Amino acid sequence: MKPKRTITVPEPSKVLTKSYYHKLAMAVAELRHSDGLYMSRRDVPDWMADQLFREDLRFVCKDGSPFEISDTAIDEAFNDDGTFRWLSYLVAFADSPPRQAPQARLAPRLILLSLAFWAAHPKVAEGFAERECLNQPQCGHWAWAYFERCADCPFHRKQAVSA
C-alpha cells in the first residue's frame, strides 16, 4: 500500500489575510478541466470533493492531530448554497485585490479550498502564504495604501530606518 501524503491544515489566521485571499482567488480563477476549459463555479465544489476525499491523503492540524472532513463539509462551509455564487465573488478578487481581509466566517471555505489546492497543486498552494508588500509601487506590487507590508520591501525598510 502506498503511504499517505500528509497535508497540514492552514490556520484561520493565515487564510484570512488579504494576500492569501487574493492568491487563492487567482488560483481558483485559473482552475481548468482536463480538456483545458475553465471550471465554472458549480464545477469547483465537485473538484474540491475529488481532491479532499482522496485515499492517498491525510490531513492534520498544526499540532499533529487528525483533521477529519465530513461528507457534508463543503456544503456546510458554503452554507448549503447550491449556486456557489460566492465563488464568483472570490474570482473577482483575482484581478483586483481585496481592500480588506476576509471575514472570519469565510475561514472554513478558504481552508477547504486551500486543502484542495494542496492536494491537487501543491506548488501553487505553497505560494498562498507568501507575504507580499501591496503598499508601494516602488517595490513592484500594487499601490494600495491599506495592504500589508512585507519585510523584504526595500521601500518599507527605507521607511523603517528613517522612522
| Per-residue pLDDT at 1 | 64
| Per-residue pLDDT at 4 | 87
- Contact between residue 113 and residue 28 where contact means Cβ atoms under 8 Å apart: yes
- Contact between residue 31 and residue 44 where contact means Cβ atoms under 8 Å apart: yes
End-to-end Cα spacing for the chain: 59
pTM (predicted TM-score) = 0.79
Domain ranges of the chain: 5-130, 131-163
- Contact between residue 95 and residue 88 where contact means Cβ atoms under 8 Å apart: no
Give the pLDDT means over successive 10-residue stretches in the chain (163 positions): 86 92 94 94 96 95 95 94 91 87 95 97 88 50 45 48 41
| Per-residue pLDDT at 6 | 95
| Per-residue pLDDT at 28 | 96
